[in-house]
Amino acid sequence: MIEADEAPEALQEQIARFKDDPLGYVKFVYPWAQPGQLAKYHGPDGWQIDFLQELGESCAALKFNGYDAVAPIRVARASGHGIGKSTVVAWLVDWIMSTRPHCQGTLTANTFPQLQSKTWAQVQRWTRLAINKDWFNVTGTRMTHVDAPESWFCQAQTCREENSEAFAGQHAASSSSFYIFDEASAIPDRIWEVAEGGLTDGQPMIFAFGNPTRSQGKFHSACFGDQRNRWNHGSIDSRSCSMTNKGQIAEWVSDYGEDSDFVRVRVRGLPPAASDLQYIDSTRVYEAQRREPYHFDDDPLIVGVDVARGGKANTVFRFRRGLDARSIPAVRIPGEQCRNSMQVASKLLEIMDTEFDGVKPAVAFVDSGFGGPIVDRCHQLGYDNVIEIQFGASAPDVHFANMRSWMWSKVRDFLPRGSIDTDTMLETDLTGPGYHFDRGDRLLLESKENMAKRGLDSPDDGDALALTFAQPVAPAAKPDDILDRLRQGGGGFGGSWMS
Q: Quick: pLDDT tens for 127-169.
A: 999 999 999 999 999 999 999 999 999 999 998 877 788 888 8
Residue 319 has pLDDT above 90, yes or no: yes
Average pLDDT of 445-473? 90
Burial class of residue 382 (count of CB atoms within 10 Å of its CB; 0-12, 13-18, 19+): exposed
CB 362 within 8 A of CB 300: yes
Residues 14-24 have pLDDT tens digits of 999 999 999 99
Residue 486 has pLDDT above 80, yes or no: no
**The predicted structure's pLDDT at residue 89:** 97
Burial class of residue 74 (count of CB atoms within 10 Å of its CB; 0-12, 13-18, 19+): buried
Residue 328 has pLDDT above 60, yes or no: yes
8-247 is a CATH 3.40.50.300 domain: yes
Dump the DSSP string for 239-255.
Answer: GGSTTS-HHHHHHHHHH
Give the closest residue to 102 by CA, choosing from 1, 203, 228: 203
Residue 312 has pLDDT above 70, yes or no: no
**The predicted structure's pLDDT at residue 274:** 57
CB 259 within 8 A of CB 389: no
Average pLDDT of 382-405? 95
**The predicted structure's pLDDT at residue 496:** 38
Q: Look at 327 and 4; give whichever has higher pLDDT.
A: 327
Average pLDDT of 214-228? 85
Average pLDDT of 237-245? 91
The percentage of the chain sitting over the pLDDT mark of 70, rounded to a whole number, equals 92
Residue 43 has pLDDT above 90, yes or no: yes
pLDDT band, residue 311 (cuts 50/70/90): low
Q: Look at 493 and 214; give whichever has higher pLDDT.
A: 214
Residue 175 has pLDDT above 60, yes or no: yes
**The predicted structure's pLDDT at residue 490:** 39
Residue 495 has pLDDT above 70, yes or no: no
286-493 is a CATH 2.40.170.20 domain: no
Give CA separation, 274 vs 282, 290, 465, in Å.
8, 20, 20
CB 420 within 8 A of CB 304: no
Q: Which of 232-241, 344-353, 395-404, 452-461 has the lowest mean pLDDT?
A: 452-461
For residue 277, what are the β-bridge partners?
A: none
CB 404 within 8 A of CB 426: no
pLDDT band, residue 1 (cuts 50/70/90): very low
Give CA separation, 108 vs 179, 190, 390, in Å.
8, 13, 47
Q: What's the rounded Cα separation, in Å, for the pair 236 and 78?
A: 6
Give the closest residue to 157 by CA, choosing from 146, 169, 149: 169
Residue 184 has pLDDT above 90, yes or no: yes
Residue 390 has pLDDT above 90, yes or no: yes
**The predicted structure's pLDDT at residue 4:** 47
Give the other-Cβ count within 10 Å of 421's Cβ: 19
pLDDT band, residue 489 (cuts 50/70/90): very low
For the chain, the structural domain boundaries read 8-247, 286-493
**Highest mean pLDDT pick, 331-335, 351-355, 372-376:** 351-355
**The predicted structure's pLDDT at residue 458:** 85
The percentage of the chain sitting over the pLDDT mark of 90, rounded to a whole number, equals 64
Residue 427 has pLDDT above 50, yes or no: yes
User: What is the pLDDT of the chain when averaged over all its residues?
Assistant: 88
Q: What's the rounded Cα separation, in Å, for the pair 498 and 179?
A: 49
Residues 53-108 have pLDDT tens digits of 999 999 999 999 999 999 999 999 999 999 999 999 999 999 999 999 999 999 99
CB 42 within 8 A of CB 33: yes
**The predicted structure's pLDDT at residue 275:** 55
Average pLDDT of 276-281? 77
Residue 497 has pLDDT above 50, yes or no: no
Residue 493 has pLDDT above 50, yes or no: no
Q: What's the rounded Cα separation, in Å, for the pair 218 and 192?
A: 7
Residue 481 has pLDDT above 60, yes or no: no
Q: In what order do the strands lie in the sheet with 205-210?
A: 136-138, 142-145, 153-156, 104-109, 177-182, 205-210, 73-79, 232-236
CB 63 within 8 A of CB 81: no
Q: Which of 370-384, 413-427, 443-457 has the lowest mean pLDDT?
A: 443-457
